[in-house]
Amino acid sequence: MKARLKKLYDWVDERVQLEDLVEFMGKKYVPVHSHSVWYYFGGVSLFLFIIQVVTGILLLMYYKGSESLAFESIQFLMSKVAFGWLIRSIHSWAANLFILAAMIHMFSVYFTKAYRKPREITWLTGMLMFFLALGFGFSGYLLPWNELAFFATKVGTDIVGVVPLIGKPLMILLRGGEEVTGATLSRFFGLHVAIMPGIFTVFLTIHLLLVQRQGMSEPLGVEANAGEEMRTMPFFPNFLLRDLLLWLIVLNLLAMLAVFFPWELGRKADPFAPAPAGIKPEWYFMFMFQTLKYIPAQVLFIDGEVLGIMLFGIAGLLWMLVPFWDRRSSRGERNRVINYIGIFAVIYIIVFTILGWAS
Amino acid sequence: MKAMLLAFVGLISHGSLAAASAQVENQCLTCHETLGDKPSELFKHDIHFKKGISCAGCHGGDSTSDDMEVAMNPKAGFIGVPKGDDISRMCAKCHSSAAIMVKQYNSILPRNQIETLWESVHGKLSTTGKERIAQCTTCHDAHGIVSTKDPASPVYPLNVTKTCAKCHSDAAFMRAYNPALPVDQLDKYRTSVHGIRNKEGDVKVAECASCHGSHDIRAASDVKSKVYATNLPVTCASCHANRAYMKGYRLPIDQFGKFSKSVHGKALLEKHDLGAPSCNDCHGNHGAVPPGVESISKVCGICHALNADLFSSSPHKKAFDRRKLPECETCHGYHETVAATDELLGVSPDAVCSRCHSPSKNPKGYLVARTMRQLIDSLEAAESRAAVLVNEAEQKGMEISEARFKLRDVRQARLESRTMVHSFDEEKFRAVIEKGLGVTSAVSAEASDAIHEYYFRRWGLGVATLIITVLAVSVFLLIRRIERRQQQKK
Amino acid sequence: MRDSGKIYTQPTLSPPRRRDFLKYFLGGSLIAWLASVLYPVLAYLKPPKQPEVEISSVKAGKLSEIEKESGRIIKFGTKPVILIRTAVGDLRAFSATCTHLDCTVQFRKDAGIIWCACHNGQYDLNGRNIGGPPPRPLDEYRVIVQADEVLISKKG
């Protein structure tokens, strides 16, 4: 058995020079320090993304992206297809955990200032992937074509429509018309399963290649107070096996969530029915939604909603471009302002999310 | 005769002290009287005349002048005979004015009569497009107007039917306004208890205005009409539930109370289900009489058709006829008809069957009643068991909308069986029940499958968790071993 | 990562038997894990008994088998639909739920109407409420005939 495997390895190695890759992997080390735990969240996000791809492809076998069949096909999937409930629940739960893991990953990178030179591109691609993930969440939410999703999409795209100049055409482009209809469903379906995964894959490839090429970043503070050489651990197999161990646990967690809290389907959307009470966006949009509620209707000749959206837009843009304006971190100096901004963002998001759920 | 009348009139117009000061100056009347025309003759009985209002009050001009040129000069405001809507407007000039009605005449008459009239069906409809159908004078007359309490008034309870019928019984006239409206209301009314007593001079019984209103009459299909299905019970009850008013009629006054608690009353008054019967659906409207013993099943059968059909071809029909028992009412009551429950069937103390069928006197019927009750109870028990299973499966998050759909068929079968009771035929009844039981067991099977699936998922998760745990521990041990070796190498 | 430090300091004792155990555990549980992942996936991919969702339209049977002047109840998703074939052979379909109190209606050949047994509700063969308590007409469904197959679908 072993001899055969060796033979196969040699056969491949002869053709594509596996030896180089193995050597590269063998030389890769991961720094070990008190903040090393954050390194795992990138891997967890990757794992959850893989789960999404696999379960998403499986769902495509039965899902029908049309107004008259979308809800029914999910109902069919949940009741008639063996383990259909499991696949759908895992897809829904993993989607939420993915965004959560990506958020933690993003904030840990931010606070450890791992975005600083030379990793600006890694940060940028990561941020773009995060925005895409929010887009995945928003578009995927509509696909079951149930009541809550229908109205959440209506409200969500309405907000897009408020943006000056480009808002209205963008909203019509998103909706495939003036209103949320079957055309919107088709568009969201296309976005969710073809366009966004395509773009995402490009960013993901760049992101992962850069991580492998540049290695893990060492936090500024940790580097400074360790007089001796940094303690490290080989990426292969030590770190990779730990990654796998964590992935197994996450998989088990997903299975438990799917069994104990199966994702509900609700009632089929009826465009002519009155909006049901308590429409709330997904939790990761909640803080923005809640903020828009608090802004007065008119602030100095500007429409309150427009102002809110503009502010979030600018904040997002600044956040994405942090490696370019945070020069001090890139020079290896301490920059407390960055920490204060980060802490403010975390507290803001947590408080407004709680307020949104409580209201 | 004429001379005598003139002398009499002269006595009133000249001799009467009360009206003297005003009447002396009513030169219109003085002249018109000598002409012997009808208006002036009638006007002397008019309440307005008695209150001192002259002809000029409605016709304008100067009634104090005996010169025709002056008295009937348009420049002095003379308008001749008012036409169309101007008639009612002329009346309203005083009747809508508090300053005139209250301050001058100390009247308590309502002052919104013209508004209500113009909002009524008579005020809204018009054939010419220029004037409304009814003006004040249409019902109250023009010159001989007397108080509505005066037996001479055309709207006095004993006269109002004739006044309304003047138009409403005239097919040719009614065709112009509402060809679909029947014109036999008065004929029907005369056959009703109300109509008969009215003819005999009873002013307390219902006449047209009692139910339809007076100035505010609306079409029966208008939701604000006093005779709209959901408003009618209250309209009838305004007399029939009034103890003082109904005194002397030897009638109960609890019909409305009973009706509003009945299944029909709740459906009509609480749920606003217009399919539910109002008073008139059983009693008739213009020809209101209580349905007789023979007709009661026909009356109920208007809606409960199958039950009535089945009953008529059942052995009970003959037995009831022989004993002169009213058909539906004997078991279900009338005004207080509650929703029929299965308790009515069988031989328990609450059941109605045992009122006639006892084990000793009528054992066959007694046994059938008992068996039928057992059958329907078993179906109901099976249905609720199935429903519990379906609910449990749903609560466990299982998708079983199909079983839920079939549960509908069970309910349908149970409803059907309750109808079939009225055949009083055990075999027919059993067939329906068994159909229901068949569906019920299919539903139960589907639901318990779903519940099993639910536990299967948990077991599956348990096994998967065990496997993953073993794998995770193994990986953990592997890591330890690898790292120990790396340590040893160093 | 803290536990890694612990690992470094632990005394080395690795009896040869334990190694075999670990191998056995790792291999066995890996295979079991693969099975537990692949089994649901393969079962999921296996076509279910009822191969497709059939809600937007349902097959109501063969045209040649539907008599003239007859009516039948057909399950349409979670709702019953009544399919009527008139004396001249027209096919019509309506929601079979009475608009009065949700009983299921039926076709009555003798009267030529759609009839609800619960309270004598009557609808004509165009679904219009013509007698009894029903407050509004029955919702209409579309009937399509393809070859000999009769299909019912939602209108609009």
Summarised one tens digit per residue, pLDDT across range B406-452 is 888 888 888 888 888 888 888 999 998 998 999 999 999 989 998 99
Chain-chain contact of A252 with B469 (C-beta, under 8 angstroms): yes
Residue in this structure with the two tokens 């600018």, named with its chain if needed: A314
pLDDT value, residue B10: 42
* Res B161 pLDDT > 50: yes
Work out whether strand C79-85 and strand C121-123 pair parallel, antiparallel, or are unpaired.
unpaired
Averaged pLDDT for residues B133-153 = 86
Please name which of A278, A303, A305, A301 lies closest in space to residue A292, comparing C-alpha atoms: A305
Q: What is the mean pLDDT of residues B229-234?
A: 90
SS3 category, A20 = helix
Supply φ then ψ for residue A274, to 5 degrees. -70, 150
Place of tokens 């217009």: B274
Q: How confident is the model over B263-309, as pLDDT tens digits? A: 899 888 888 888 788 888 888 888 877 777 677 878 888 888 888 88
Per the CB < 8 Å rule, is B468 touching A244?
no
- Give the closest-approach CA distance of B470 to chain A in angstroms: 11
Do the chains contact at B475 and C78, CB–CB below 8 Å?
A: no
Residue C5 has pLDDT above 50, yes or no: no
- Look up residue B29 and give its two tokens: 């009347």
- pLDDT the model gives residue C54: 53
What is the mean predicted confidence (pLDDT) over A61-78?
87
**pLDDT at site A265:** 82
Annotate chain C with DSSP letters as a single string: -HHHHHHHHSPP---HHHHHHHHHHHHHHHHHHHHHHHHHHHHHHSPPSS-S---SEEEEEEGGGSPSSEEEEEEETTEEEEEEE-TT--EEEEE-B-TTT-PBPEEETTTTEEEETTTTEEE-TTS-EEESS--SPPPEEEEEEETTEEEEEE--
pLDDT tens, position by position, A171-215:
999 999 888 988 999 999 999 999 999 999 999 999 999 998 888
pLDDT attached to residue C120:
80
How far off is chain C from A242, nearest CA to CA, in Å?
Answer: 10
For chain A, helix (H) and strand (E) counts, in that order, are 17, 4
**Model pLDDT for residues B380-410, shown as the tens digit of each residue:** 999 999 999 999 988 877 878 778 888 888 8
Nearest to B440 by CA among B398, B372, B375, B381: B381
Give pLDDT, residue B60.
Answer: 83
The DSSP 8-state label assigned to residue A143 in this structure reads: T
Reported pTM? 0.63
For residue C19, name the pLDDT band (cuts at 50, 70, 90).
low
What is residue B18's predicted lDDT score, i.e. its pLDDT? 40
Residue from C21, C29, C38, C102 whose CB has the most chain B CBs within 10 Å, to mutate: C29
Q: Please spell the DSSP secondary structure of A97-109, one letter per residue.
A: HHHHHHHHHHHHH
The predicted-structure confidence for A215-239, as pLDDT tens digits, reads as follows 888 887 665 555 566 788 888 888 8
Chains that contact B by 3+ CB pairs under 8 Å? Answer: A, C
- Contact assessment for residue A186 and residue A177, using Cβ atoms and an 8 Å cutoff: no
Whether residue B12 is predicted with pLDDT greater than 70 in this model: the reply is no
Computed over every residue of chain B, the mean pLDDT equals 84
Q: Characterise C137 by phi-psi region: left (phi > 0), alpha (psi -120 to 50), beta (else).
A: beta
Q: What percent of chain B has pLDDT over 70?
A: 94
Q: Which of B205, B209, B259 is nearest to B230 (CA)?
A: B259
Residue scoring higher pLDDT (B378 or C146)? B378
**Are C48 and A82 a contacting pair at CB < 8 A?**
yes
Quick check: B482 and A256 CB within 8 A? no
C-alpha to C-alpha distance for B398 and B384, rounded to whole angstroms: 19
Mean pLDDT of B164-187: 87
B304 contacts C22? CB cut-off 8 A: no
Judging contacts by C-beta atoms under 8 Å, the chain A residues touching residue C49 are 80
Compare A16 and A275 and report the one with higher pLDDT: A16
- Quick one: what percent of chain C has pLDDT higher than 90? 10
Closest CA to A279 of A89, A163, A94, A142: A142
Q: What is the rounded CA–CA span in Å between residue A267 and residue A275?
A: 12
Q: What is the pLDDT of residue C51?
A: 59
3-state secondary structure of A52: helix
Given this model, what pLDDT does residue A286 score? 92
Q: Which residues neighbour C16 within 8 Å (Cβ) at sequence distance 6 or greater?
A: none
Asked if B274 and C7 come within 8 Å (Cβ–Cβ), the reply is no
Residue B15, token pair as written in the block:
């001799």
Whether C154 sits inside 8 A of A32 (CB atoms) is no
* Nearest alpha-carbon partner for C102 in B260, B221, B405, B259: B405
Higher local confidence (pLDDT), A275 or B262: B262
Look at A238 and B475 and tell me if their CB atoms are within 8 Å.
no
pLDDT value at A357 more than 80: yes
- CA dist B337 and C55 (Å) reads 42
User: H or E stretch including A303?
Assistant: strand A302-303
pLDDT score, position A120: 93
Q: What is the pLDDT of residue C1?
A: 37
Kindly report each contact of residues A136-139 with a partner whose C-beta sits within 8 Å and lies 24 or more positions away, as own/partner.
A136/A52, A136/A95, A136/A192, A136/A196, A136/A200, A137/A95, A137/A96, A137/A99, A137/A282, A137/A284, A137/A285, A138/A282, A138/A285, A139/A188, A139/A189, A139/A191, A139/A192, A139/A196
β-bridge partners, C104: C97
Q: Is B111 helix (H, G, I), strand (E, B) or coil?
A: coil
Q: For position A315, what pLDDT does the model report?
A: 95
Residue C14 has pLDDT above 60, yes or no: no
Instruction: Report yes or no: A1 at the C interface, CB cutoff 8 Å.
Output: no
> Is there a contact between B32 and B39 (Cβ–Cβ < 8 Å)?
yes
User: Which pLDDT does position C50 carry in this prediction?
Assistant: 66
Q: What is the mean pLDDT of chain A?
A: 89
Report the pLDDT value the prediction gives residue B30, as an integer from 0 to 100: 81
* Section B42-60 average pLDDT: 84
Cα distance between the two ends of chain B: 150
Would the CB atoms of B401 and A249 count as touching at under 8 Å? no
Report pLDDT for A227: 57
pLDDT of res. C3: 42
List own/partner pairs for B140-147 with CB under 8 A and 24 or more apart.
Answer: B141/B42, B142/B39, B142/B42, B142/B87, B143/B38, B143/B39, B143/B40, B143/B42, B143/B43, B143/B46, B144/B42, B144/B43, B144/B45, B144/B46, B145/B46, B145/B47, B145/B48, B146/B45, B146/B46, B146/B47, B147/B47
Task: Give which of C132, A303, A297 is closest to B305, Cα–Cα.
Answer: C132
Chain C, nearest residue to B460 by Cα: C36
Band of pLDDT at residue A121, cut at 50, 70 and 90: very high
Among the ranges given (B14-28, B41-55, B177-191, C87-101), the one the predictor scored with the smallest mean pLDDT: B14-28
Peptide bond into A237 cis (omega under 30): yes
Stated as kind and residue range, the H or E segment containing A323 is helix A322-325
**Identity of the residue in C8, C25, C134 whose CB atom sits nearest the CB atom of B275:** C134
> Within chain B, how many helices (H) and strands (E) appear?
29, 0
Residue in chain B closest to C79 (alpha carbons) equals B405
Nearest to A37 by CA among A336, A284, A246, A295: A246
| pLDDT beyond 90 at A340 | yes
DSSP B303-338: TSHHHHHHHHTSHHHHHHHHHT--HHHHHH-STT-P
Question: Buried b vs exposed e over C42-64: b needs ≥16 C-beta within 10 Å?
Answer: eebeeebeeeebbbbbbebeeee
**Closest by Cβ to B480, choosing from C7, C36, C120:** C7
In a 3-state reduction of DSSP, which class is residue A86?
helix
User: Does A159 score more than 70 pLDDT?
Assistant: yes
DSSP A268: B
Nearest CB neighbour to A251, from listed B468, B475, B476: B468
**What is the average pLDDT across C84-91?**
84
Query: Which of 109-138 (C) contact B at CB < 8 A?
Result: 117-121, 132-135
pLDDT tens-digit readout, C42-65: 999 888 876 555 556 677 778 778
